């Protein structure tokens, strides 16, 4: 899927909102101290309250231990991450302060009833319903240890709610994916769609076709582990290997299967469906990975294939030879879809595909048992798809597409106006029950436009909006501006993505030389919301400056320009707000996102615009300032983090690999002087020895050069003394020692560095 064929400005969304506005109805019956996302469908107040405390237990109904014990264990682990307390799981009768899980009632499959009194009772119609009740409790306890008494019955409107990640174009670490499994579940979402192949990558380990596998990939065991975690959190993983278009990464090693036009020019994007080898290759890929994914679905992509079939006459020749003399060239595409569908169904799964290629231009049609994901108003309408017998889901690019450097959702419109029944182009359907739902889509046409941590921060609000809209409960508040405080109150999932991006400028005092209108204040450039912006008057020079509150070590600044960007500007710093030092000078700015290194200490940071690139003023979505990078360092091969065992800060304590847990003993700061610090100690080869195999330890920081590490982005390696940080013996298990070793560019020397 790409957006390069679509040119849309913010004005279009505003116009659409004006043309079709759906009234919003706040859930007035739910009090302010019971706000969760998605909101409860209803609430009946009781008398008294519940208090979580040291004696709290999770009590499973003994009649349903087989169904609920796993969910109880997951809930206990999440409560530990949230509160720091170990909550025992037991069976029997609930006492004051306990949380009881049981099954029963007449709620829909994912519904539950929660009764709050001196204890909390959650009754799910299925184990999934009971699990979602525990998510409600987690969100409430995130805000307070006390919950008002009352009863709710709660269930979703849409059966599919979740997120798609374009790991084909941009590799996302296993840790990032695992954390977002917990984030999705926290919001009662149940789908994780992995777009595993595209222009820049094929991300699955393959034993049949190892030649197509990209340098950064997921092992089959990593996928199994991810699927197991997702199942634990009631999330179904949907795999997609895109075909017969978007096949650059696969066809790079099969150039003979690239579709050639009448001039002999091969298009690396398209598979030549007239060649028998095309079917052998794609059958191999589907059948190798079908058993790896135990879920109900397999996504074949099938989007954005040939636009001009006349340029490829071999497709028409093939179609008529295969499907009859009246076949059209497009029948080669439709026939391939049905051929792939037969393979998928033989494997016990339902095929999914994107909608844009389905038209009325062939003698055959895609099989009606294929689920169609409607992302844009190309091809036939959503209603026409239903009329043909398909089930569908609404994946409207506006507002579900998050595409760094191309398009970001209008979260206000998404919350206040859009619903899952509103397809792209304002299309609707007669039977909403056959529209299964909606997910957020992270597309990475420009994979380096944002880091995975920046993407995690960028999707935070729209993910919660889509969670609310697909659950379908009455909105807790009418206006998006009133919804954002609720987002802040419930925060991130326990064990989910990092809470903060490390942006020191977020919500700090900010001033500017001017503003275009009151709608574009200076504060919008530091509010952490990429859908709001500051815009200056139409004049040179203009400036915006932020007060960080105290002098701090600074490592970089990021400017995220709107279309009105600076051709020339300076980044200036100051310790007192009066005397300024120019740290960066730009004379040929080109907009987009600019990042600059700042190896300095300062309290104030200013963008001094000296030449506008347009007739408008200067406009920034965000003005970000960062200190030294801070976060986990994750092994590419293992997916595990560099860990100080037991948080032992004794000099000479050896570090190792361990399951990532967001603890301080796995949080490393990349200081401007090159040191890597955690728990106040520096990482070094033991006693400064550069001998091969020297253990990596922590020690009191000094000026020693062997405590200075450089990160080589080309090889993803950490280096000191001309040697590399290495997982001993290529180990990936918990407890694997880290050593110093000659650089080999091996997977055991590749590390994911913190990005913020």
CATH of the domain at 637: 2.80.10.50
Q: How many CA atoms lie within 13 A of 23 on its CB side?
A: 3
Give yes or no: residues 542 and 653 share one domain.
no
Q: What are the C-alpha distances in Å from 534 to residues 123, 180, 476?
A: 48, 30, 29
Whose CA is closest to 560, among 583, 519, 526? 526
Q: What is the mean pLDDT of residues 81-87?
A: 90
**Higher-scoring residue by pLDDT: 70, 28:** 70
DSSP state of 713: T
Q: Is residue 264 within a helix (H) or strand (E), and if so which, with residue range?
A: none
Task: Read off the CATH number of the domain in which 376 is found.
Answer: 3.20.20.80
Classify residue 426 as left (phi > 0), alpha (psi -120 to 50) or beta.
left
Residue 22 above 60 pLDDT? no
The contacts of residue 522 (CB under 8 Å, 6+ apart) are 510, 511, 512, 515, 534, 544
DSSP state of 679: T
Distance in angstroms (rounded) separating the CA atoms of residues 527 and 506: 6
Write the pLDDT tens digit of every residue in 292-317. 999 999 999 999 999 999 999 999 99
Whose CA is closest to 101, among 79, 141, 128? 128
Name which of 154-168, 315-329, 377-391, 663-677 the model is least confident about. Answer: 663-677
pLDDT classification of 60: cutoffs 50, 70, 90: very high
Classify residue 221 as left (phi > 0), alpha (psi -120 to 50) or beta.
alpha
Give yes or no: residues 460 and 342 share one domain.
yes
- Catalytic residue annotation: 304
pLDDT classification of 418: cutoffs 50, 70, 90: very high
pLDDT, residue 448, reads: 84
Distance in angstroms (rounded) separating the CA atoms of residues 482 and 468: 14
pLDDT, residue 337, reads: 99
Q: What is the mean pLDDT of residues 173-187?
A: 97
Residue 28 above 80 pLDDT? no
Write the pLDDT tens digit of every residue in 306-364. 999 999 999 999 999 999 999 999 999 999 999 999 999 999 999 999 999 999 999 99
Residue 538 above 70 pLDDT? yes
Beta partners for 411?
Answer: none
pLDDT classification of 497: cutoffs 50, 70, 90: confident
Give yes or no: residues 117 and 222 share one domain.
no
Task: Read off the CATH number of the domain in which 73 is found.
Answer: 3.30.379.10
Give yes or no: residues 382 and 407 share one domain.
yes
Distance in angstroms (rounded) separating the CA atoms of residues 139 and 149: 16
pLDDT, residue 10, reads: 35
Distance in angstroms (rounded) separating the CA atoms of residues 134 and 78: 10
Asked whether residue 133 is domain-assigned, the answer is yes
Q: How many CA atoms lie within 13 A of 533 on its CB side?
A: 18
Give yes or no: residues 615 and 636 share one domain.
no
Asked whether residue 615 is domain-assigned, the answer is yes
Give yes or no: residues 580 and 696 share one domain.
no
pLDDT classification of 404: cutoffs 50, 70, 90: confident
Distance in angstroms (rounded) separating the CA atoms of residues 736 and 249: 33
Under DSSP, is residue 666 helix (H, G, I), strand (E, B) or coil? Answer: helix
Write the pLDDT tens digit of every residue in 517-528. 998 999 999 988
pLDDT, residue 320, reads: 99
Distance in angstroms (rounded) separating the CA atoms of residues 3 and 406: 8
Residue 191 above 50 pLDDT? yes
Give yes or no: residues 475 and 571 share one domain.
no
Asked whether residue 496 is domain-assigned, the answer is no
Radius of gyration of the chain (CA): 27
Distance in angstroms (rounded) separating the CA atoms of residues 330 and 72: 52
Distance in angstroms (rounded) separating the CA atoms of residues 366 and 358: 8
Distance in angstroms (rounded) separating the CA atoms of residues 628 and 634: 17
∠ CA 151-461-457, rounded to 5°: 130
Under DSSP, is residue 630 helix (H, G, I), strand (E, B) or coil? Answer: strand
pLDDT classification of 753: cutoffs 50, 70, 90: confident
Distance in angstroms (rounded) separating the CA atoms of residues 131 and 72: 8
Q: What are the C-alpha distances in Å from 10 to residues 162, 198, 478, 562?
A: 25, 28, 22, 11
Asked if 158 and 438 count as a contact pair (C-beta separation under 8 A), the reply is yes
Residue 7 above 80 pLDDT? no
Distance in angstroms (rounded) separating the CA atoms of residues 423 and 393: 9
Give yes or no: residues 542 and 635 share one domain.
no
- Among the three residues 129, 154, 179, which one is the final residue of a domain in this structure? 154
Name which of 495-499, 513-517, 639-643, 692-696 the model is least confident about. Answer: 495-499
Residue 17 above 60 pLDDT? no
Q: What are the C-alpha distances in Å from 723 to residues 619, 708, 709, 719?
A: 45, 12, 10, 5
Mean pLDDT of the chain: 93
354: which 2 tokens? 């994107």
Distance in angstroms (rounded) separating the CA atoms of residues 668 and 711: 13
614: which 2 tokens? 């347009």
Q: If you write DSSP's letter for every residue of 85-100 in order, what string do you get?
A: PPPPEEES---TT-EE
∠ CA 251-636-642, rounded to 5°: 175
Asked whether residue 12 is domain-assigned, the answer is no
Give the sign of the dihedral formed by CA 675, CA 680, CA 683, CA 684.
positive
- Among the three residues 136, 154, 172, which one is the final residue of a domain in this structure? 154
Write the pLDDT tens digit of every residue in 566-619. 999 999 999 999 999 999 999 999 998 898 989 899 999 999 999 999 999 999
pLDDT, residue 21, reads: 34
Q: What is the mean pLDDT of residues 734-751?
A: 95
pLDDT, residue 450, reads: 83
pLDDT, residue 19, reads: 31
Asked whether residue 190 is domain-assigned, the answer is yes
Give the sign of the dihedral formed by CA 480, CA 486, CA 488, CA 492.
negative
Beta partners for 59?
Answer: 90, 100
Distance in angstroms (rounded) separating the CA atoms of residues 425 and 711: 47
Q: What is the mean pLDDT of residues 11-17?
A: 34
pLDDT, residue 532, reads: 82
Q: What is the mean pLDDT of residues 272-283?
A: 99
pLDDT classification of 756: cutoffs 50, 70, 90: low
Q: Which domain holds residue 697?
A: 630-752
Number of Cβ within 10 Å of residue 645's Cβ equals: 12
Residue 25 above 80 pLDDT? no
Asked if 528 and 74 count as a contact pair (C-beta separation under 8 A), the reply is no
Name which of 19-33, 261-275, 665-679 the model is least confident about. Answer: 19-33
Give the sign of the dihedral formed by CA 32, CA 34, CA 39, CA 41.
negative
Residue 51 above 80 pLDDT? yes
Number of Cβ within 10 Å of residue 291's Cβ equals: 9
Distance in angstroms (rounded) separating the CA atoms of residues 187 and 169: 26
pLDDT classification of 499: cutoffs 50, 70, 90: low
Q: How far apart are the first and last CA of the chain?
A: 29
Whose CA is closest to 116, among 98, 92, 103, 93? 98
What dihedral do alpha carbons 700, 705, 711, 717 form, nearest 10°? -90
pLDDT classification of 207: cutoffs 50, 70, 90: very high
Q: If you write DSSP's letter for every residue of 444-509 in order, what string do you get?
A: -SSTTSS-HHHHHHHTHHHHHHHHHHHH-PPBSSSSHHHHHHHHHHH-SPTTSS-S---BTTTT--
Parallel, antiparallel, or unpaired: how do β-strands 191-195 and 236-243 relate? parallel
pLDDT classification of 26: cutoffs 50, 70, 90: very low
Asked whether residue 13 is domain-assigned, the answer is no
pLDDT, residue 605, reads: 98
Residue 13 above 80 pLDDT? no
Under DSSP, is residue 602 helix (H, G, I), strand (E, B) or coil? Answer: strand
Give yes or no: residues 144 and 232 share one domain.
no
Give the sign of the dihedral formed by CA 521, CA 526, CA 528, CA 531.
positive
- Among the three residues 431, 456, 490, which one is the final residue of a domain in this structure? 490
Name which of 7-21, 410-424, 439-453 the model is least confident about. Answer: 7-21
Give yes or no: residues 455 and 551 share one domain.
no
**Higher-scoring residue by pLDDT: 33, 454:** 454
Give yes or no: residues 455 and 560 share one domain.
no
Under DSSP, is residue 361 helix (H, G, I), strand (E, B) or coil? Answer: coil
Asked if 676 and 682 count as a contact pair (C-beta separation under 8 A), the reply is yes
Could you identify the residue written with the tokens 């509160």? 83
Provide the number of structural domains found in the chain.
4
Give yes or no: residues 136 and 237 share one domain.
no
Write the pLDDT tens digit of every residue in 234-246. 999 999 999 999 9
Asked whether residue 19 is domain-assigned, the answer is no
The contacts of residue 292 (CB under 8 Å, 6+ apart) are 204, 220, 223, 224, 239
Under DSSP, is residue 226 helix (H, G, I), strand (E, B) or coil? Answer: helix
pLDDT classification of 1: cutoffs 50, 70, 90: very low
Residue 36 above 50 pLDDT? yes
Residue 249 above 80 pLDDT? yes
Distance in angstroms (rounded) separating the CA atoms of residues 531 and 92: 50
Environment class of residue 743 by beta-carbon count within 10 Å: exposed (0-12), middle (13-18) or buried (19+)?
middle
Asked whether residue 1 is domain-assigned, the answer is no
Parallel, antiparallel, or unpaired: how do β-strands 619-626 and 542-561 relate? antiparallel
């Amino acid at each position: 899927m790409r957006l390069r064929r679509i040119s849309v400005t913010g004005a279009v969304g505003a116009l659409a909102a004006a043309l079709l506005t759906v009234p919003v109805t706040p859930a007035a019956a739910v009090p302010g101290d019971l706000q969760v996302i998605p909101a409860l469908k209803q609430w009946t107040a009781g008398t008294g309250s519940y208090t979580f405390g040291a004696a709290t237990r999770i009590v499973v109904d003994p009649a349903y231990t087989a169904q609920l014990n796993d969910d109880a264990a997951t809930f206990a682990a999440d409560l530990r991450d949230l509160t720091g307390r170990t909550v025992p799981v037991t069976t029997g009768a609930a006492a004051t302060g306990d949380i009881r899980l049981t099954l029963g009632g007449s709620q829909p499959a994912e519904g539950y009833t929660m009764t709050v009194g001196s204890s909390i009772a959650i009754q799910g119609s299925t184990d999934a319903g009971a699990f979602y009740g525990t998510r409600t409790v987690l969100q409430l306890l995130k805000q307070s240890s006390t919950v008002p008494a009352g009863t709710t019955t709660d269930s979703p409107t849409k059966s599919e709610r979740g997120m798609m990640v374009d790991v084909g174009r941009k590799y996302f670490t296993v840790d990032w994916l695992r954390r977002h499994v917990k984030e999705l579940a926290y919001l009662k979402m149940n789908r994780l769609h992995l777009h595993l192949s595209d222009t820049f990558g094929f991300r699955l380990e393959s034993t049949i076709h190892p030649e197509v596998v990209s340098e950064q990939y997921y092992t089959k065991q990593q996928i199994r582990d991810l699927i197991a975690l997702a199942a634990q959190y009631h999330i179904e993983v949907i795999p997609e290997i895109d075909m017969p278009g978007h096949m650059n990464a696969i066809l790079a090693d099969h150039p003979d299967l690239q579709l050639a036009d009448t001039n002999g020019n091969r298009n690396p994007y398209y598979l030549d469906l007239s060649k028998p080898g095309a079917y052998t290759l794609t059958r191999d890929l589907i059948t190798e990975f079908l058993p790896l994914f135990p879920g109900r679905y397999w996504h074949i992509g099938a989007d954005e294939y040939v636009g001009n079939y006349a340029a490829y006459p071999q497709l028409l020749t093939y179609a008529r030879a295969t499907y009859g003399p009246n076949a059209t060239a497009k029948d080669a595409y439709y026939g391939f879809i049905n051929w792939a569908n037969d393979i998928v169904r033989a494997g016990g799964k339902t095929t999914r595909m994107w909608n844009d290629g389905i038209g009325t231009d062939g003698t055959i049609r895609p099989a009606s048992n294929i689920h169609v994901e409607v992302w844009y108003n190309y091809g036939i309408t959503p209603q026409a798809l239903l009329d043909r017998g398909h089930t569908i889901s609404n994946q409207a690019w506006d507002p579900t597409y998050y595409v760094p450097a191309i398009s970001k959702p209008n979260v206000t419109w998404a919350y206040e106006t859009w619903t899952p029944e509103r397809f792209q182009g304002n299309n609707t359907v007669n039977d909403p029950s056959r529209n299964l739902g909606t997910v957020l889509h992270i597309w990475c046409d420009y994979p380096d436009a944002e880091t995975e941590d920046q993407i995690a921060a960028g999707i935070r609000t729209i993910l919660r909006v889509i969670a609310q809209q697909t659950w379908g409960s009455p909105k807790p508040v009418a206006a998006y501006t009133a919804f954002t405080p609720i987002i802040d109150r419930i925060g991130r999932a326990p064990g989910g993505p990092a809470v903060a991006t490390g942006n020191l400028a977020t919500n700090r005092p900010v001033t500017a030389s001017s503003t275009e209108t009151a709608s574009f204040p200076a504060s919008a450039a530091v509010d952490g919301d990429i859908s709001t912006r500051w815009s200056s008057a139409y004049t040179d020079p203009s400036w915006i400056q932020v007060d960080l509150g105290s002098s701090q070590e600074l490592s970089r600044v990021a400017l995220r320009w709107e279309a009105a960007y600076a051709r020339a500007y300076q980044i200036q710093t100051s310790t007192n707000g009066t005397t300024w030092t120019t740290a960066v000078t730009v004379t040929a700015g080109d907009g987009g996102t600019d990042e600059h290194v700042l190896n300095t200490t300062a309290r104030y940071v200013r963008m001094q615009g000296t030449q506008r690139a347009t007739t408008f003023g200067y406009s920034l979505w965000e003005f970000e300032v960062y200190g030294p990078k801070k976060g986990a360092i994750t092994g590419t091969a293992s997916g595990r983090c560099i860990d100080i065992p037991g948080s032992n800060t004794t000099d000479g304590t050896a570090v190792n690999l361990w399951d990532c847990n967001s603890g301080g003993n796995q949080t490393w700061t990349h200081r401007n002087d090159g040191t890597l610090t955690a728990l106040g100690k520096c990482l070094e080869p033991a006693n400064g020895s550069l001998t091969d195999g020297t253990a990596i330890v922590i020690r009191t920081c000094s000026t020693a050069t062997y405590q200075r590490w450089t990160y080589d982005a080309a090889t993803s390696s950490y280096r000191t003394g001309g040697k590399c940080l290495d997982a001993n013996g290529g180990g990936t298990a918990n407890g694997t020692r880290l050593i110093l070793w000659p650089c080999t560019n091996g997977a055991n020397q590749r590390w994911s560095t913190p990005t913020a």
